[in-house]
Structure 1
């Protein structure tokens, strides 16, 4: 991957990639693996981008698909086990796990179904229902109802942690 491609086509959207990878991982090590794989897949498949949507929408779609694929592979791999390791020092890469209230939100989001995680991340990023439907491959008419149910579920999860 050329540094020009990374700098111009991936780095400006790294926030998107970080959010999605964070929602599907539990450790810094897994987060870094997912992030790297998403970047690699964006680079490998960028020629397939047909400009029918915004680049950011396409990055979301690739990131979600890669994370869901990796998650399924790890669930089916008996050799893989979750590590509780988190680095002690706050490095550039470990900042994604440094904010405690954000960690609580991500912990609640991780209790949602795999698809609902993607939907809520897109909603939190203020994507329109149409964009969310396009990225997740679902019907825009159902997104509003799904988001309402997700918000209700997150409220129950987070209220349970507060009390």
Structure 2
């Protein structure tokens, strides 16, 4: 059992059920502690199905959302290392950081607002991944109601991957 699992399992399930959420872009999500733990368990199972194991790096191109926290918790459960990719970076910088990290899985939002402008995270990530053959899977968190480029076999919806372990 990892230190993260040990710590989380020691928190009583009767802990206060108040919200644990970041400042919300629309749509907003509030996660109570038990939901965060459940989502982290499901995300860890999804990452395991994608071949993530202890010591491996998982890159995350996510805005400040509950899914970002869940990703960190899931990596902790597996002993994997989360590698954060900055929102707003151009494709060539993302490519360099992903190659340097050695990540085989990337978790991204389909898009988000960066300051006052729309940032098409998945579209920019796809340009970066053209030169990252080591990336075998991309989990996409649905945030915006806009078209999303898709690579069958590599790309997976976050919500569907977490539902498989319901």
The answer, yes or no, to whether TM exceeds 0.5 is: no
Q: Going by fraction, where is strand more abundant, 1 or 2?
A: 2
TM-score range, shorter chain: under 0.3
Hey, which of these two has a bigger chunk of helix by percent?
Answer: 1
| Alignment TM-score, normalising by the size of structure 1 | 0.28
Q: Which has the higher contact order (CA 8 A, sep 6+)?
A: 1
